[in-house]
Amino acid sequence: MSLIGQITGLRPSKSGIPKLTIQIAVENQFDANIAVLAVNTEVRASASPDSYDAWGSSQFLGYAVWECWSTQIAKSGKTTWELALPLSHYQIQKIEDARNGRDVSLMIRCSFTAAVIPDTGTTNYGAFISSNLSDPSRSAGNCVHKIARSDWLKLRKELGYGECLLIEIPLRTPARKGMAKALEHLDAASDHFAEDRPDETLASCYKAFEYLAQKAGFENPDQNAFEKLLVAVEDDSKKQKLKILMRDVCQFFNLGRHEPGKEKVVVDRRDAEYALFLSRATLAYLAKHWLESSPC
């Protein structure tokens, strides 16, 4: 016998440090009244909780804090536990990595320590119990709650991250296209932006497309380079407009490089933020075309 539990709801809060409160319906299946003394909960995110070794391959998010005023549960009694999980931007990104544009499931492994409350009227505790909360619908003992993509986007917004536009770039793009290296430059641009270094942010954005151009056999990300990079776009009229647009975007990024002999242009955080959005959107557009055209 044990305590069984199922996740029944999620409540986001962005007051102070954003947190996600996980609500669990708990039922006492022990043949006695018990007092719960401590609860420890590990929370993970997974796109496929039913796959082999889903726990081991899931993204670790952290440990949730048990928020409970009443610790006693009568025999066959029911109660609701609330477990508060603080969520930083880094953890939100972990969830984004796990779901990859799809639905996502929260997986929790909840261990508890309890004591039997004797029927004799004494205030002393009886036997002590250490066990895991069990989800009756799963044999592995982990509690799982599937969150639909649309529901997750609402939760993310209520956690205070809705103002951030997350543009999804497929990571399965063929390696020969050089997307992985370009994303490294984009990661560097994000780091520079976080450090409030707008010049370096724009310069790293430029390097991402400069690398793709060189991978395609061109020195700079100009119209000729984008003509090659946009080979998967079948409509020629669309391709002509896109290659001019992307060249102009790269010329904007080039303002952060301060080339010798040219007048220095002052760029600020607004320019850096704009450059990051343009870079992510453009890389995502190219990657999705490459992925569709790849025989892999």
Domain of 105: which CATH number? 2.60.40
| Domain final residue, candidates 161, 196, 217 | 161
Residues 215-270 pLDDT 10s: 999 999 999 999 999 998 989 999 999 999 999 999 999 988 766 666 778 888 88
In a domain, 112, yes or no: yes
In a domain, 169, yes or no: no
Whether 158 shows a pLDDT value over 50: the answer reads yes
Q: 17: which strand partners?
A: none
| Domain final residue, candidates 119, 135, 161 | 161
Using alpha carbons only, give the angle 181, 184, 186 rounded to the nearest 5 degrees: 115
Residues 99-152 pLDDT 10s: 877 888 899 999 999 999 988 666 678 889 999 998 877 656 688 899 998 888
Q: Are residues 212 and 277 in the same domain?
A: yes
Q: Are residues 185 and 138 in the same domain?
A: no
Cβ–Cβ under 8 Å, residues 132 and 126: no
List, as one string, the DSSP characters of 90-159. HHHHHHHHHHTTS-EEEEEEEEEEEEEE-TTS-SS---EEEEE-B-TT-TT--EEEEE-HHHHHHHHIII
Q: Are residues 37 and 130 in the same domain?
A: yes
CATH number at 250 reads 1.20.120
Amino acid (one-letter) located at 72: Q
Name the range with the highest mean pLDDT among 14-23, 92-101, 131-140, 151-160.
14-23
Amino acid (one-letter) located at 20: L
> For the chain, where are the alpha helices, taking DSSP H only?
54-57, 89-99, 149-156, 179-194, 198-215, 223-229, 236-253, 269-293
Q: Are residues 33 and 131 in the same domain?
A: yes
**Torsion region of 17: left, alpha or beta (phi above 0 gives left; psi -120 to 50 gives alpha):** beta
Residues 49-66 pLDDT 10s: 776 677 778 889 999 999
Domain count, the chain: 2
What pLDDT is attached to residue 34?
92
Amino acid (one-letter) located at 105: S
User: What average pLDDT does the structure give for the chain?
Assistant: 85
What pLDDT is attached to residue 52?
62
Structural domain boundaries enclosing 279: 175-293
Cβ–Cβ under 8 Å, residues 85 and 62: yes
